[in-house]
Amino acid sequence: MSAGPADPVVPPPAAEPITVEQLQEKVLGTVRPLPEHPLPLMDALGLALAEDVVSPIDLPRFDNSAMDGYAVVHRDVATATGEAPVHLPVVGEIGAGQARIRVLSEGTAVKIMTGAPVPAGADTVVPYEWTDRGEASVRITQAPEPAQHVRPRGDDVSSGDLLVERGTVLGPRHLGLLAAVGRDRVRCRQRPRVVVLSTGSELRDAGSELGHDSIYDGNSYLLAASARAAGAIAYRVGIVPDDPTTFTEALHDQLVRADVVVTSGGVSMGDFDVVKEALAPLDTMWFGPVAMQPGKPQGFGTVGEDAVPVFTLPGNPVSAYISFETFVVPALRRMMGLLPEVRPTVPARLTHAVTSPPGRRQLLRGSYDESHGAASVSPVGGAGSHLVGNLAVADSLIVVPEATTSLAAGETVQVVRLDVPF
């Protein structure tokens, strides 16, 4: 049957929302771990190690002194007491990094500083406290145990020991150990380069003048900072006006330096939804609703010859942020080889009743507290996705499942803790 002129114009049926997990699966099915490279240690902080690191040396590297004192042969001092002190000639001094004396003869002592190599022949260190601190000759008034105050070679780490396992997320203590065995570079997956574009003709850069109808672009900072906090390298491109040609040009200009592109705004049902207009025709892009609040309108896919993953997040700041945490962070972690990809939730007692729309997973801003023993979480502010004041106060997201429309105070909920490393 053909539509006659009298028929009303019927809008296309609205797409059925997909679930949060369905979009996460689509994302994780698309993005790939980035290549591994040897990286300078400081650049590897927070990255997953892509090799097993085996120690090339012993630690300590040589028998060394645990005290400032005198290196001696134990036999020579075994009888020393206050009443019957032992006197030994002092043949020199060994400072840390200044070990000119390498061998000690029986019947002599050498001054030695903490960390300095114990000379061959010596087996024990007498601390200053048990001596008269003599220069030419030393008077020893207490007998150490054999080998006392000597840190033996290889006592801590032996050459060939597995020091840090592949997959370990490198923290300060790992970097300290790697440097201590002489490694200045380690293989890690490189950090993803994330390009962040804000769309909206109403947007102005922080620090510039506002017109009567303009607002500051908070999102590019919010999202670029979130990318950096997730371990990525963020390029904050800033504002692109609501013009599809300008947007497409800006996007293509950025692809050369992007492992991921994140845009905000321009994906809902308005008249100037520039991102959707420019990208929806590509069969490599998906746009549609996700059964969540905030963050219902989403888009994801790949663009360009190199199939760069592109996330088109909604424009409202809270929606943009929660979408980033929910979909972009797992992608960045997959690229970096970090597990788990999706942030785990923790249970907490809800302090106040909340309501939620049916059929959508609501992610309410919350404030998490475990200072009084059992974990609790309090809703922060309202559900409006423009409430950036409240967003900055929140430290967690309260998950209200799709089928739940109300929760009473005291019920246990799942909580996403936003600032906790995982």
Please give the residue ranges that form the binding site for Mg ion (CB under 5 A).
200, 265-266, 315
Q: What share of the chain is helix, strand, coil (3-state, %, to 5)?
A: 20, 30, 50
Residue type, 241: P
Q: Which does 395 bind (CB under 5 to 8 A by kind): ligand AMP, Mg ion, none?
A: none
Ordered alpha helix ranges (H), 66-147: 74-77
Stretch that binds ligand AMP, among 69-77, 199-207, 301-309, 413-421 (CB under 6 A): 199-207
Euclidean distance between CA atoms 23 and 298, whole angstroms: 9
Stretch that binds ligand AMP, among 20-28, 152-160, 173-181, 263-271 (CB under 6 A): 263-271
Q: Rule CB under 6 A: choose which of 46, 218, 241, 244 binds ligand AMP.
A: 218
- Residues of this chain, 349-368, that bind ligand AMP according to CB under 6 A: none
Using CB under 6 A as the binding criterion, the count of chain residues that bind ligand AMP stands at 19
Question: What is the nearest approach in angstroms of ligand AMP to the Cβ of residue 417?
Answer: 25
Question: What is the nearest approach in angstroms of ligand AMP to the Cβ of residue 8?
Answer: 27
- Give the residue with the Cβ less far from ligand AMP, 314 or 330: 314
The verdict on 316 binding ligand AMP (CB under 6 A) reads yes
Residue nearest to Mg ion (CB): 265
User: Among 199, 202, 196, which Cα is nearest to 220's?
Assistant: 196
Cβ neighbours around 42 below 10 Å, total = 9
Q: Any idea what DSSP says for residue 411?
A: -
Stretch that binds ligand AMP, among 79-87, 92-100, 225-233, 266-274 (CB under 6 A): 266-274
The verdict on 206 binding ligand AMP (CB under 6 A) reads no
The verdict on 219 binding ligand AMP (CB under 6 A) reads yes
Contact 64, 186 (CB under 8 A): no
Question: What residues pair up with 312 in beta bridges, in sequence order?
Answer: 263, 299
Contact 413, 353 (CB under 8 A): no
Q: Which does 63 bind (CB under 5 to 8 A by kind): Mg ion, ligand AMP, none?
A: none
- Give the residue with the Cβ less far from ligand AMP, 310 or 399: 310
Residue nearest to ligand AMP (CB): 315
Contact 319, 385 (CB under 8 A): yes
Q: Which does 409 bind (CB under 5 to 8 A by kind): ligand AMP, Mg ion, none?
A: none
Q: Sort 263 into a burial class: Cβ within 10 Å, 0-12 / 13-18 / 19+.
A: buried
- Give the residue with the Cβ less far from ligand AMP, 268 or 351: 268
- Give the residue with the Cβ less far from ligand AMP, 313 or 350: 313
Q: Rule CB under 6 A: choose which of 69, 144, 200, 295 binds ligand AMP.
A: 200
The verdict on 266 binding ligand AMP (CB under 6 A) reads yes
Tokens of 296: 């219902």
E strands in 328-400: 346-350, 354-355, 361-369, 376-379, 396-400
The verdict on 295 binding ligand AMP (CB under 6 A) reads no
Give me the residue label for tokens 């909920």: 413
Tokens of 272: 């100037």
The verdict on 421 binding ligand AMP (CB under 6 A) reads no
Angle at 35 between CA 29 and CA 41, to 5 degrees: 125
User: Among 401, 416, 405, which Cα is nearest to 20's?
Assistant: 401
User: Among 290, 196, 283, which Cα is nearest to 239's?
Assistant: 196
Stretch that binds ligand AMP, among 88-96, 186-194, 215-223, 403-411 (CB under 6 A): 215-223
Residues that bind ligand AMP (CB under 6 A): 198, 200, 202-203, 215, 217-220, 264-268, 270, 314-317
